Chains A and B, each alone.
Chain A
Amino acid sequence: MVEQVATLPSSREFNPWPVVVFTCLLVLAGLFLAPTIGVILSSIKTTREIAEGGLWNIPTRLFLGNFVEVLANPAVHRYFLNTLLVTLPATAASIALGVLAGYVFAKLPFWGSNLIFLVLISGMFFPPQVILIPLFQFFNSLGLIDTLWPIIFIHTALGIPICTLLMRNFFATVPNSLREAAILEGANEFQVLTRVALPLSLPALAVLATLQFTWIWNDFLWPLIFTQSDEKRTIMVGIVNLKGQYSVAWGVQGALSLVASLPTLIVFLFFQRYFIKGMTMGAVKG
């Protein structure tokens, strides 16, 4: 097909690169989509159909029993609630702290602030395995094992570097004269932040909200380490737990996986419209 197009007589020189790039992208898209398609296919089949025809068979009819089972399961409700109880505060706290720190680094630098910034950012490069055992011992000594608190704290802390980095860089693009104009109008530093800098930084906030929400929602490691009882599990650990209850329930697991990924999808779609550039356009110059 590609060769055919290439040998067609053409007034312009044929450029093969778009075709190559497009083909590569198609292949990659297929590879990335394959697991999702597998999960969708298994979620709409009965356990029997899966056992007989395998995972990849196209089912002859739509079976929604897996979804009904998942949505009616009180354990699943608990998982969802727990995940929300972790994700919402940790997302909000990490962004709030990143906003405050980023504003100081961008607009109120002090002696040594650049060094502190670097140290803070380097936190991004710690592999979680390194801090896992000390953290476990720490929260154990506080008696917080099998609660949601350690997960909230850890995700808040782990989110601070990226939130600070992004917010600092975004605040740096807000002209200093806007801050000074607001101050001359009587604003204090906090009002400059809330009334001028933040409204101009909606794109950065939207990116961070999506990023942090997705990352924390989908996390498997920390809830696995810090929770033990089923009542404290989050959704990602819950998907695995379902296996124990219903032999290997591929269909139910597939259905729960899809349901579990819905909130991140919704968050993305909601914030997507703020991912626009040029918010500061028109602030200065003519």
Chain B
Amino acid sequence: MANLILKNVSKTFGETEVIKAVNLEVSNGEFVVFVGPSGCGKSTLLRLITGLEEVTDGQIIIEDKDVTHLKPSKREVAMVFQSYALFPHLTVAENIGFGLKLAKVPKAEIVARVKEVASVLRVESLLARKPRQLSGGQRQRVAIGRSIIRQPKVFLFDEPLSNLDAALRVVMRIEITRLHQNLQATMIYVTHDQTEAMTLADRIVVLNEGRIEQVGAPLELYEKPANKFVAGFIGSPAMNFIKGTVETADERMFARLGPHVMEINKPDLKPGLAIEVGIRPEHIAIVAPEEGTLTAEVEIIEKLGVESMLYLKTEASQDLLTVRTDPRQTIRTGERLGLKLPVSECHFFDQKGNLV
């Protein structure tokens, strides 16, 4: 059953179209992550769902009810803001119970429910404090508490972890996953950080310039990106792209990459077509210089412990190629290597960035 449906949702500010005919269905209990570069319209899309912004065109349906023109408070959605947006003059308990008090829920019930939520989020000992007396992570928990107490139909998170330091981010990420498992609630989570998206999501929606580029499970996007944008955005370090042209010889097809050629198995491509070959850092194999498709010189080595990153200069591409290797490799900077690009792991894109 679909819990949230966006039908051709568009939003225009003045002359600029920020959201362009977005279609999406989110099922009950699903954890969906909107990911995309800064300014691509993630926050705007969330605000359209909450009703803080009115759609210019299209329809928003929550649990079979058309809420397109309903007021925010009537949509039964809750949002956790990037800035937490806690009320500084109220205590933690008053912050969490704010919505219930407005709804004129009896005092005793508010107290009981605030307690319950506080224990789920482990902030019981902080109930009497003001937000300024809390750490960043505690504020984040209180903000989440305020959103879950009214048991909304859809939870929305707008980059909730971006103000936290790296270590705390990992902790909170796990807590949010746990919260999702406990509540079994529909959650939509916005981030520009693809690692966060990959780790949290049931399904990722990749946005770019107000359009959905691809929707899919994390590994699906990683392994089968629909276009160059998704291929380059998902995955860290990013996929390598090498410009080339299609050539044929003796009934066989090749991609010319600078001075090198590699055989490809793409019978539908026309000779002379300009393409880009994408390959992930872990799929490039290192061989002896004379055995590789490409030859390369090691420029930088990053030793990360569990793996090492090699940044290689080649004649095929102006950008350095990234290769992920075993950390016990004895390769040194300046060394010449051969590189093999397994065709089965390569993604081919035309000049518009579409998969071919």
Contacts and interface: CB of A to CB of B under 8 A. Distances in A.
A200 B86 CA distance: 12
A184 B50 contact: yes
B72 interface: yes
Given A175-B83, A175-B85, A184-B73, A286 B163 contact: yes
A185 B146 contact: yes
Interface string B103-117: 100000000000000
A191 B73 CA distance: 13
B151 to A, nearest CB: 13
Contacts of A186: 73, 99, 102-103
B132 A281 contact: yes
A189 B140 CA distance: 25
A281 B52 contact: no
- Chain A interface size, as a band, is 20 to 34
Interface in A33-49: none
A196 to B, nearest CB: 6
Interface string B76-98: 01110111111111000000001
B180 interface: no
A282 B140 CA distance: 12
A281 B133 CA distance: 10
Given A185-B102, A283-B131, A286-B136, A200 B83 contact: no
A285 interface: yes
A284 to B, nearest CB: 4
Interface in A160-218: 175, 177-178, 180-187, 191, 195-196, 199-200
A284 B136 contact: no
Contacts of B88: 200, 279-283
Nearest to B132: A282
B183 interface: no
B52 A180 contact: yes
B164 interface: yes
Contacts of B140: 286
Contacts of B173: none
* B50, B87, B131, B163: most-surrounded residue (chain A CB, <10 A): B87
Nearest to B98: A185
Contacts of B78: 184
A276 to B, nearest CB: 12
B85 A284 contact: yes
Given A279-B88, A286-B136, A182 B98 contact: yes
B102 A181 contact: no
Contacts of A178: 85, 87
B125 interface: no
A183 B73 contact: yes
Contact of B52 (A183, A196, A199): A183
B130 interface: yes
Contacts of B50: 184
Contact of A180 (B85, B89, B130, B139): B85
Interface of A: 175, 177-178, 180-187, 191, 195-196, 199-200, 279-286
Interface of B: 50, 52, 72-73, 77-79, 81-89, 98-99, 102-103, 130-137, 139-140, 146, 150, 163-164
18 contacts: A177-B85, A178-B87, A180-B79, A180-B81, A183-B73, A185-B98, A185-B146, A186-B73, A186-B103, A187-B102, A199-B89, A200-B88, A279-B88, A279-B89, A283-B83, A283-B88, A284-B84, A285-B136
